A and B are shown apart, each in its own frame.
Chain A
Amino acid sequence: MTALLSIARLRKRHGEHTLLDLADFAIEAGSATVLTGVNGAGKSTLLRILCGLESAEIEEVRFFGQVQRMAPFPVTMRRAIGYVHQHPMMFATSVAENIAYGLRASGAPRAEIDARVDEAVAWAGVAHLRERHAPLLSGGEKQRVALARARVLQPQLLLLDEPTANLDGAAREAVIALIPTLIAAGSSVVMACHDRDLIGLPGVQRWKLRDGRIEYR
């Protein structure tokens, strides 16, 4: 089986300090992985490297078996990999326009954008917030809009950085309820998190980052 993304030797240094020094690893298509580790272990950095927001020394990257050059970050990978930040930024416009942003960037037709945004807001349970000004939403609502905004692009790999961090109560539960549906829809998902409920989701493999290396659990 060809891995969705396979990486041979990834190293990330900050000055003299080596933050990550990973041997070969791969993310399989349709898999769900939780990335754990103490604060500062490099979880967020690894996700940011995988979606092209940070550079690293990498011996070889294969995306669906094809060798890729990482600088500049390949357009095929940019389109196929979604990333949701721990504290999602909302554009200063409506929820619907936020979700439509990536579709507009890809040049999707207007009718298709409208239909997919309708489906996305319903999936995330934010249909009632559709016309609200996104920056004014609560933390949990922003997280759900950010998930919908990434999911609407139908990424093959979705990277979630602490999706439930700083959320509590119903907001956290609402986000946790969305994750299995992402996995069930066929996207590979990699989550950096400490949340026991996410770590304990069925079918989720666990990678622990320690001393710059991955320990498979």
Chain B
Amino acid sequence: MSLSNALHDALILLLSGDAALWHIIWVSLKTTGIALLLATPPAVVLGYGLARGEFRGRRVLIWLAQATLAVPTVLIGLLLYLMLSRQGPLGGLHWLFAQPGIIAGQVLIAVPVLLAFTLAAVQAIDVRLAETALSLGAGRWRVMLTVLREARFGVMAAVITGFGRVISEVGCAMMVGGNIEGATRTMTTAIALETSKGQFAQGIALGIVLIVLALLINAGLMLAQGDDRLRGRV
């Protein structure tokens, strides 16, 4: 099949509302969305705590957090597979080859990204800001929210990067989800499967969706930043 034919078939698939294709897109968006909702609050709080906390072992924790960025997702998938398999310590949850298993893997993949980016964003904020909030009577949580508000574009970039890493990930989703049609097949596992079968149309269609998603989300961030810049708020 030529590239132009494959592209044509991909567009037909997308525009015809192919149920199987759109279900795969729905599974990807659903698992990624839930994973980010679960991962973002603790990762952002941890990132803030590591950036601003003063405690023994802080530098070691920062080193570990940043090092986990480089861990291959397939290794996370392997470890999670062993944990969730019938003989594993979490086997009783029956999450293997089910969407909760994929979500668990995505949370483990997203947390280091969110944490590291939040850490960098908070470290870039002048410490006098937190001191000002503190001297005006703010408690710890209000100080944290004030600093995170100032670092909001960095935190938004963290969430977008986390989204990108999670939705484009294939190794963990394949191992833990099992790529079961109608249940745990995600955009990336579907692309891998269809390509291995020599059927490129669905893979290209899903690739188009991934690219459009990336463009839309980054455009949203740029608009938000641009809007604030126009008002002189950056």
Contacts and interface: CB of A to CB of B under 8 A. Distances in A.
Contacts, number: 56
Nearest to A149: B136
A37 to B, nearest CB: 22
B232 A136 contact: yes
B231 interface: yes
Given A89-B126, A91-B150, A105-B142, A133 B231 contact: yes
B136 A150 contact: yes
Query: Residue among B128, B132, B134, B138 with the most chain A CB within 10 A?
Result: B132
Contact of A89 (B132, B138, B142, B231): B132
Given A91-B129, A91-B150, A133 B137 contact: no
Interface in A15-65: 51-53
B231 A153 contact: no
Contacts of A85: 128, 131-132
Contact of B137 (A87, A89, A91, A105): A105
Contacts of B232: 133, 136
Interface residues of A, number: 24
Interface string A94-116: 00000001100110000000000
Given A91-B150, A92-B233, A133-B233, A83 B129 contact: no
Contacts of B137: 78-79, 102, 105-106, 153
A82 interface: yes
Interface residues of B, number: 19
Given A91-B150, A92-B150, A133-B232, A83 B135 contact: yes
A8 B142 CA distance: 32
A88 interface: yes
Contact of A53 (B129, B135, B142, B233): B135
B58 interface: no
A208 B149 CA distance: 40
Interface in A128-151: 133, 135-136, 149-150
B83 to A, nearest CB: 39
Interface of A is mostly: mixed
A156 to B, nearest CB: 13
B133 A82 contact: no
Contacts of A79: 137
Contacts of A81: 135
B126 A102 contact: no
A101 B129 contact: no
A81 to B, nearest CB: 8
B155 to A, nearest CB: 14
A87 B231 CA distance: 23
A105 B139 contact: yes
B23 to A, nearest CB: 43
Contacts of A149: 136
A91 B146 contact: yes
A34 B232 CA distance: 37
A101 B136 contact: yes
Nearest to B136: A102
A101 B133 contact: yes
Interface of B: 126, 128-129, 131-139, 142, 146, 149-150, 231-233
Interface of A: 51-53, 78-79, 81-83, 85, 87-89, 91-92, 101-102, 105-106, 133, 135-136, 149-150, 153
Closest 5 CB pairs of A and B: A102-B136, A83-B135, A105-B138, A89-B128, A89-B132
26 contacts: A51-B135, A53-B131, A53-B134, A53-B135, A83-B135, A85-B128, A85-B132, A88-B132, A89-B129, A89-B131, A91-B129, A91-B132, A91-B146, A91-B149, A92-B150, A102-B136, A102-B138, A105-B138, A106-B137, A133-B231, A133-B232, A135-B233, A136-B232, A150-B135, A150-B136, A153-B136
